[in-house]
Amino acid sequence: MSELLSNDQVAALVEAAQQGELPDEPAGAQHAGHRRGRRLRSVDFARPTKFTSEHERRIVRALDAFCTTAATRLSAELRVPLELEVIDTTQLPWSSAQSALPQDSVGAALAVSPVGTRMLLTAELPLVLLTIEHLLGGAPERPPKARKLSEIDWALTKRLFEMLTHHLSLVWQDLAGLELEAKDVDTHMEGLQVTAVSDPTLTLTFEARVDRHSSTLALLVPWSAIDAVADELAGRETRSEAADPRIAAAVRRAVAGAEVVLRAEVAHVELAIDEVLALAPGDLVRLGAPAAAGVGIYAEDVPIHRARPGRSGTRRAVQVVEP
């Protein structure tokens, strides 16, 4: 039950916030049903930027679909609600990205076909143990204590990673034609040989929420794993295909029937609000454009032609002069 604060306590909190002296969040609050926020980090310009913003955007958007499908499958198998969400992305050299993983992580090297490279998928040990307990029919109120994994534990852990990899493979196949397969599963991250230590690596962090408990997974994507399909992943291959005259003709036919507003504009000027409100009948507003310049023809807000004003019968009209 939440505790109501008095007026004096609220005033004290406001004063502390203004002074930057708010108390730290109590340890374990994230296990009381609180969602983890997106991590805040300072920008280090020495970090690699091999993955462009377009690469990151398309990968994160695809992994949102993975979160939905994998969470549905896990919820059914564990018989408990589970949510997955991408909460952070960062680029680091492989060695730094690997050392930044939680020390109690379990990882699986993912073989990437047909390019013959590898990625790394990891999960915190408390999440692995919690899923094992649910798979075995238990319903623990809190994550089990850390322990050495037995042979049965390893078999169920491998099954967990194979299931996650299956759903990851589906989205990567749609994204860039890549197929993933879980290979080695280990608790020693340094023993999983994936790529060179200096290879730029995109780390995508997921939050997994199971029955009010929160833990994380991470997918490490080295540049070498997607180098062969980088252009396709960024959408450049699709844009280059648009140069095909048949595709251009098909696009032209598809948009030919769309309606746009065509307007003629003499000129325009920007005024402050107080100047607009001060206008009165008879005032002169200077547009700053010579009358000899004619008018501009706009399709919506895009200028397309210069024109000369005139009449066509009893209607006003413009005659196109030049683009």
Report yes or no on 109 lying in a domain. yes
Domain enclosing residue 314, as ranges: 259-273+288-323
CATH, residue 177: 3.40.1550.10
Q: 122 and 191 share a domain? A: yes
Q: What is the predicted pLDDT for the residue at 239?
A: 46
Rg (CA), the chain: 30
The pLDDT, as a whole number, for residue 24 is 53
Residue 220's identity, in one-letter code, is: L
Mean pLDDT in order along the chain per 10 residues (323 residues): 66 68 51 53 62 90 94 90 92 90 90 92 92 83 80 91 94 92 80 82 93 89 90 65 71 84 84 89 84 81 85 86 83
Cα 107 to Cα 101: distance, rounded to the nearest angstrom: 10
What are 147's strand-pairing partners? none
Structure-token pair, residue 198:
């200096």
Q: Closest Cα to residue 214, out of 107, 83, 76?
A: 83
User: Does a structural domain hold residue 15?
Assistant: no
Angle CA(202)–CA(207)–CA(208) in degrees, nearest 5? 130
pLDDT computed for residue 27 by the predictor: 46
The pLDDT of residue 148 is: 86
Same-domain check for residues 214 and 266? no
Flag whether 155 is in a domain. yes
CA distance 34 to 74: 21
Sheet holding 295-299, edge to edge: 262-265, 295-299, 302-312, 315-322
Asked if residue 107 and residue 189 are part of one domain, the reply reads: yes
Are 102 and 146 found together in one domain? yes
Total number of residues shown for the chain: 323
Would you say residue 2 lies in a domain?
Answer: no
Residues 194 and 296 in one domain: no
Are residues 229 and 181 part of one domain? yes
The answer to whether position 130 is within a domain reads yes
Residues 218 and 263 in one domain: no
Question: Is the domain of 187 the same as that of 294?
Answer: no
Strand order in the sheet with 179-186: 82-93, 200-210, 213-222, 117-124, 105-113, 179-186
pLDDT score for 91: 93
The pTM of the full predicted model, rounded to 2 decimals, is: 0.60
Question: Is 105 buried (19+), middle (13-18) or exposed (0-12) by CB count in 10 A?
Answer: buried
Sole residue written with tokens 């909190």: 13
The answer on 300 and 235 residing in a single domain is no
Total domains in the chain come to 2
Q: Which pair of structure tokens corresponds to residue 79?
A: 């018989």
Residue 150's CB: how many other CB atoms inside 10 A? Answer: 10
| Residue 318 is assigned to a structural domain of this protein | yes
Query: Nearest Cα to 307, choosing from 268, 264, 262?
Result: 264
What is the end-to-end Cα distance of the chain in Å, rounded?
70
